[in-house]
Amino acid sequence: MQLENIAQNKVHDGWHKRYRHAASSTQCPMTFAIYLPPQASKDTPVPVVYWLSGLTCTDENFMQKAGAFKRAAELGIAIVAPDTSPRGEDVADDKDYDLGQGAGFYVNATQAPWNKHYNMYDYVVNELPELIETHFPVTQQRALAGHSMGGHGALVIGLTASERYSSVSAFSPIANPIACPWGQKAFSAYLGGAEEDWYQYDAVRLLSRASDILPMRIDQGLSDPFLDEQLGIEKLERALAPFNHKATVHRHAGYDHSYFFISSFIDAHLTFHADYFNR
C-alpha cells in the first residue's frame, strides 16, 4: 500500500509525520498522522496509542494541541491519529457539523448514501493498524484513546474488539449516543431507524451485556457545556460499577470540553497505557 508523506516535523527527538493513502474500507483517500518517539527503530519497535478525535476534527487537532509528544518520547510510545471521517468531493456530506465529513462516529454505515464510504470502524480496527504495523517500527501492542466522539469510538472499539488492545482511555466521551441528540442524529442517518441496530455502537448498552472489560480510564470536566445533554457520564459510571476494579472515572472541577482540558491530563493517559504495555 503506497503512502504519500505530506508533512513531517522533528519534535522531542522524535518525528511527527502526516501521510495520505488510498483506503479500501472507506473507498477514498485517508489521511493520518503518526508520532514516532526517538526509541523507535527496526531493532526496537514501540507500542502504539491510537487517538480518535471528536466532531469537526482532523488528524491535526490532537497532534498540534494536546502537548503529548514530550511524555510519549519519555515513555517510548508511538501515537497514531486518523482523520475523523472519509473526505472528498464524491463523499457524502451534510450542511451541519455533526453529520457527514468530520463526523464519522467510528461506525460502519449501512444506509445510503453513507454506506459507500463511512466505514470508520473497519478502518480504525483493521486497515489502519495493518498499515501502521507494515510500514513503521511498531509492535502489535495497541491501546485506544479519544475525545468526545472519539471517546465514544475508543470505548466502543475497546468493548467490541478487546482482543486487539491492552487498555482504553477517553476524555469527555459520548458514552450513551442512542440517548443524546448527537448520537441519535448520526445513527439515524448512518444506521437507519431501527434502534436495535444502534446498540452495537453504544458504550453504556455494551457494558450492560459485558462479562469483562479492558482497563479503562475516563476523564470528565465538570464545566463541560455538553456534559448534561450529550455525554451521559453518569450513565457510564453506573454501567462501569460492576467493573470498578478495572475502570476509573476522574471528574475535574472547572475544566471544559476543549484541548486545554486534554493537554492538562494527556500525560496521565499516556502513563496509564504505558503501564499496561509493560505488563
How far is the C-alpha of 277 from the C-alpha of 279, rounded, in Å?
5
Helix, strand, coil shares of the chain as percentages rounded to 5?
40, 25, 35
Strands 14-23 vs 4-11: parallel, antiparallel or unpaired:
antiparallel
Q: For residue 5, report the phi and psi dihedrals to the nearest 5 degrees.
A: -80, 115
For this structure, is 172 an active site residue?
Answer: no
- For 161-209, the pLDDT digits (tens) are 999 999 999 999 999 999 999 999 999 999 999 999 999 999 999 999 9
Catalytic residue among 59, 224, 269, 273: 224
Per-residue model confidence as pLDDT tens digits over 13-29 = 999 999 999 999 999 99
pLDDT digits (tens, 9 = 90+) for 28-73: 999 999 999 999 999 999 999 999 999 999 999 999 999 999 999 9
Domain locations along the chain: 4-277
Residue 201 sits at the vertex; the CA angle it makes with 174 and 135, to the nearest 5 degrees, is 95
Query: 50 vs 77, 147, 229, 240, 243, CA distance in Å?
Result: 10, 12, 27, 22, 23
Write down the residue that cell numbers 496521565 correspond to. Answer: 268
Give the Cα separation of 119 and 12 in Å (integer): 34
- Rounded mean pLDDT, 237-245: 95
Annotation marks residue 224 as catalytic: yes
pLDDT at 155: 98
Q: What is the pTM of this model?
A: 0.97
C-alpha span between 149 and 130 (Å, rounded): 23
117 is catalytic: no
Give percent of the chain with pLDDT exceeding 90.
99
Whole-number CA gyration radius for the chain: 17
Over 70: is that where the pLDDT of 248 sits?
yes
Cell numbers linked to 43: 531493532
- Statement: residue 1 has pLDDT above 90: no
Contact in structure between 172 and 147 (CB atoms under 8 Å): yes
> Which residue is it, cell 502537548?
67
The CATH class, in words, for 4-277 is alpha beta
Residue 150 burial (CB count, 10 A): 32
Mean pLDDT of 211-239: 97
Predicted confidence at residue 279, as pLDDT, reads 87
Closest CA to 272 of 204, 219, 208: 219
**Per-residue pLDDT tens digits for 124-175:** 999 999 999 999 999 999 999 999 999 999 999 999 999 999 999 999 999 9
Listed residue (128, 144, 152, 146) closest to 232, CA to CA: 152
pLDDT tens per residue across span 70-122: 999 999 999 999 999 999 999 999 999 999 999 999 999 999 999 999 999 99
Average pLDDT of the chain to the nearest whole number = 97
> CA–CA separation, 279 vs 255, rounded Å?
32
Dist. CA 3–CA 10, nearest whole Å = 19
- Which is catalytic among the residues 148, 167, 169, 172? 148
Which one of the listed residues 147, 152, 257, 273 is annotated catalytic?
Answer: 257
Contacts of 121 (CB under 8 A, 6+ apart): 106, 107, 108, 153, 156, 157, 201
